[in-house]
Structure 1
Amino acid sequence: PPFVCMDESKISLPFEIYKYDKYVFVLTNVPPHSTERNNFSRALAEWTIKEKFKASYLIGGLDSRLKSSENDKIRCVITSSFKDIDKIEIPILEKGLFVVGPLAIMLSYFEINNFPAIALLPYANPARPDPMAAAIAIEFLSKLTGLSIDTSQLISDAHKIEEEIQELIKQRQERTRTDHKMLYL
């Protein structure tokens, strides 16, 4: 997309690429435009295969309203050539639920090309940023890769968001009570 924004004191790009040790991370701060989505996703998958990466670890999300219980945290989708799933216990996405968008395109391309890939899909609130879901995905990514990734800031942010939501709910309830009292005057 033809835009950038500021993130504190530096420019934040729509797509950012980072390298750490033997890992390459692609961060999409903004989803690709619908007219570019297929080409972007396919090009990224082709590049991953061409550069002979060992595997692809993708992170997406599932609507938290689809949870079967409060203990449900995450699901995954794996290509048939992904073998590292034995390292950790992540339930496979249930039949009848779908992955859509860039992750679906990339997973399809990886499957067709017999390339190992996993999509980590933590349950997330679709209406707002969900740092707790991000922390869950990163914790499972850490277990799969052996990387040590600190999620304490994400967890702290999640608690702050929850506190703010509870405060807004409390304020709304107080306003509603006040409004009802005024109706009876």
Structure 2
Amino acid sequence: MSAMREFRRQSIRIIITNEKLFEEFREAKKCVFISGFKGYGMVGYITVTHIVEHLKCGRTGVVITKYMPEAITVDKNGIVSPFELYVCRGTDEMSIMALVNHDLPDVRERTRYADTIIRWVTSIGVNEAVFFGGFDARYRVGDEKLRWVATSMWTRKLEEPKMESGLYIIGPLALFTLFSEIYRLPALVILPYAETSRPDPRAAAIAVETFAKLYGLDIDTRELYEKARLIEEKIMELEEQKEAMQAPPGASERVYM
């Protein structure tokens, strides 16, 4: 058995488990790296997993950390580890590498995690990065669907307004953006308005559509909108039950003229 390709920096290891897929990714004219986390509305995670599934990306590697989450699950392809790398072709000239964070890296090594990942993707020839997260819907000021932020090397602009000064991106998403700026990787952060207290597939659908438009991709989002509809119906049902329980006895029988 041949040795697997590995990149290591301090306590973080990136192991390539499918060399063929990895090399096919690097052969493309443009290589794009995407990622997100389980932040507001789980938008980053839902968005990336949806893109991976609908573009039929293949698993090409894993990330191993010192404080690895002690949990795994399984899918149709076998064991699912907490941090996985997937690759696929978006178009004939553009390939995508997705880091799927099924869990959050331990707070003690989040800085090393972000530093290692971004340093590595720049070293393998990634041209651009796109990150996804949720933007607290309470800060919506108009009818716009999202806000965005970009590093200084990113040259394109979106139609929607940028994030205003004085507001913050926090957590691992902030660190990925920061190290992209430090290592001069052109990076865009797409932040659709999201519900902060529950998963928000509708916000994820907006993120997917924005990404697809940016790169000329065809990614179906009907499934995400249907999930959003079911969640919203369930919330409405629970609210109605709550109101009924709080109403005084006989209230439904009263008649007002």
Task: Could you tell me which runs of 5 or more consecutive residues in structure 2 were left unpaired when the two chains were aligned.
Answer: 1-68, 90-94, 251-257
CA change 1:10–1:130 in 2 (3 A) is farther
More helix by share: 1
Q: Does 1:161 align with 2:231?
A: yes
More strand by share: 2
Give the TM-score taking structure 1 as reference length.
0.89
Deviations, residues 67-109 of structure 1 (Å, cap 9, x unaligned): 113x231111101111132xx4132111111111112112111
Q: Does 1:80 align with 2:173?
A: no
1: distance between equivalents of 2:129 and 2:190? 11
2: distance between equivalents of 1:77 and 1:110? 12
Residue aligned with 1:89, SS: coil
Listed as ranges, the matches of 1:9-20 within 5 Å are 11-20=79-88
Q: Does 1:2 align with 2:70?
A: yes
Output the aligned Cα RMSD: 1.7
1: distance between equivalents of 2:106 and 2:207? 25
Whether the aligned pair in 1 keeps the contact of 2:144 and 2:160 (CA below 8 Å) is no
CA positional deviation for 1:49: 0.7
Q: Does 1:64 align with 2:141?
A: no
| Aligned partner letter, 2:152 | S
CA positional deviation for 1:159: 0.5
| Aligned partner letter, 1:118 | L
CA change 1:81–1:165 in 2 (3 A) is same
Whether the aligned pair in 2 keeps the contact of 1:84 and 1:144 (CA below 8 Å) is no
Give the TM-score taking structure 2 as reference length.
0.65
CA positional deviation for 1:168: 0.5
- Give runs of ≥4 in structure 1 deviating > 6 Å: none
State the match for 2:42 in structure 1: none
Aligned length: 177
Listed as ranges, the matches of 1:22-171 within 5 Å are 22-69=95-142, 71-85=143-157, 88-171=158-241
2: distance between equivalents of 1:83 and 1:51? 21
1: distance between equivalents of 2:183 and 2:152? 10
1: distance between equivalents of 2:227 and 2:76? 17
